[in-house]
């Protein structure tokens, strides 16, 4: 019977269920295996407003030497994940940030894990009650009650049919965006202002994948002096940033050339220089034609040494 029920669930819904299970499990691993704590944001949120969260090591703000900040890419991934496809098809070490975090902690780094795709919560849309026109009519009360009863029965049958035909229409949902964290870019700036900028670490290091690289460049544009003062180096992996479209100034581009490196998908040997049309950080081969996360772990090991 249970197998039959699984086959009756639409693929889209089954996929969403799997994503929720994976996300919940990775969150548990971040807390139990990596000893990170979940920190709610906005930091001054009221009880009733939408909230998100990040993960931090106990010494993230007090470690005097070094702090590692991890930013994943866009899409369905959440804090602690690099690629859902690799988690499902390969393993957790390939698709999550857990190996990065464990190695960073072992090397004496404080750690902050951003959650840039957790931008809103979904709530049920309030139902709009339309006043029946019969209420304002001059019809006798008995006739009006009879009509209302028929109308309610008709609506009940229609709702049942809609629920049977399309279970997803049972509830209409709306999105409530999280204050100052409504996009990956906003999230990166918020975490910088309220956490990273307050950290005691003399050296801050970023590892940013895909859209996470764009979010970091936007952070630089908005907080250039502060970032230059605290950040020592940035490892980008298949970053999709564009200094022209994002209007990064000359001083930012010069800093990126000295302090950033973007490992990109390439069939060339690892660390081979790859030509770029952008005048910013060096681009080098990740050593894979498809930039798998196994290579990202290798990059981090080199980055930490």
pLDDT digits (tens, 9 = 90+) for 22-68: 999 999 999 999 999 999 999 999 999 999 999 999 999 999 999 99
Query: Are 287 and 266 within 8 A, CB to CB?
Result: yes
What pLDDT was estimated at residue 122? 86
Q: Which of 111, 86, 118 has the alpha carbon at shortest distance from 34?
A: 111
Copy the structure tokens of residue 193. Answer: 């202002």
**Which one of 113-122, 148-157, 164-173 scores highest in mean pLDDT?**
113-122
Please list the alpha-helical segments (H only) found in 46-176. 84-89, 92-95, 98-106, 141-165
Mean pLDDT of 231-251: 95
Q: Which tops the pLDDT comparison, 57 or 153?
A: 57
Query: Are 196 and 69 within 8 A, CB to CB?
Result: yes
Sign of the C-alpha dihedral, residues 278, 284, 289, 295? negative
Q: What is the CATH number of domain 11-122+175-304?
A: 3.40.50
User: 3-class secondary structure for 14-37?
Assistant: HHHHHHHHHHHHHHHHHHHCCCCE
Mean pLDDT of 213-226: 98
Mean pLDDT of 168-196: 90
What pLDDT was estimated at residue 170? 55
Query: What residue segments make up the domains of the chain, in order of their start?
Result: 11-122+175-304
What pLDDT was estimated at residue 298? 47
Cα 21 to the center of its chain, rounded Å: 16
What pLDDT was estimated at residue 201? 98
Q: How far apart are CA 61 and CA 195, in angstroms?
A: 7
Mean pLDDT of 9-18: 65
Q: How far apart are CA 184 and CA 219, in angstroms?
A: 10
Query: Are 64 and 39 within 8 A, CB to CB?
Result: no
What pLDDT was estimated at residue 304? 42
Q: What percent of the chain has pLDDT over 70?
A: 75
What pLDDT was estimated at residue 145? 61
pTM of the model: 0.79
Q: Which tops the pLDDT comparison, 155 or 163?
A: 155
Mean pLDDT of 230-243: 95
Query: Are 27 and 41 within 8 A, CB to CB?
Result: no
What pLDDT was estimated at residue 93? 85
Copy the structure tokens of residue 50. Answer: 């939408």
What pLDDT was estimated at residue 227? 98
| Residue 132 falls in the annotated catalytic set | no
For residue 200, is pLDDT > 90? yes
**Which one of 79-88, 213-222, 257-266, 273-282 scores highest in mean pLDDT?**
213-222
Q: Which of 57, 94, 210, 266 is catalytic?
A: 210
For residue 301, is pLDDT > 60? no
């Amino acid at each position: 019977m249970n197998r039959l029920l699984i086959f009756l669930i639409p693929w889209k819904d089954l996929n969403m269920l799997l994503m929720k299970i994976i996300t919940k499990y990775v969150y548990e691993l971040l807390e139990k295996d990596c000893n990170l704590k979940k920190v709610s944001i906005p930091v001054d949120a009221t009880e009733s407003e939408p909230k998100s969260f990040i993960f931090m090591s106990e010494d993230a703000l007090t470690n005097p030497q070094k702090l590692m900040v991890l930013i994943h890419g866009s899409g369905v991934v959440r804090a602690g994940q690099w690629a859902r496809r690799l988690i499902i098809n390969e393993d957790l070490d390939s698709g999550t940030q857990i190996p990065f975090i464990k190695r960073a902690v072992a090397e004496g780094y404080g750690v902050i894990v951003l959650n840039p795709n957790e931008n809103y919560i979904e709530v049920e849309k309030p139902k709009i009650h339309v006043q029946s026109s019969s209420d304002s009519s001059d019809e006798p009360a008995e006739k009006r009650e009879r009509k209302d009863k028929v109308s309610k029965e008709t609506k009940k049958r229609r709702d049942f049919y809609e629920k049977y035909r399309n279970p997803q229409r049972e509830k209409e949902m709306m999105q409530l965006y999280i204050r100052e964290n409504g996009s990956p870019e906003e999230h990166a700036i918020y975490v910088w202002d309220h956490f990273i900028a307050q950290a005691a670490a003399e050296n801050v290091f970023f590892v940013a994948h895909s859209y996470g690289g764009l979010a970091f460049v936007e952070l630089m544009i908005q907080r250039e002096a502060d970032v230059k003062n605290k950040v020592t180096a940035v490892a980008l992996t298949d970053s999709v940033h564009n200094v022209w479209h994002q209007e990064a100034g000359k001083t930012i581009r010069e800093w990126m050339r000295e302090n950033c490196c973007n490992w990109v998908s390439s069939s060339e040997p690892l660390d081979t220089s790859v030509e770029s049309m952008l005048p910013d950080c060096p681009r080098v081969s990740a050593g894979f034609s498809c930039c798998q996360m196994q290579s990202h772990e290798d990059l981090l090991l080199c980055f930490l040494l």
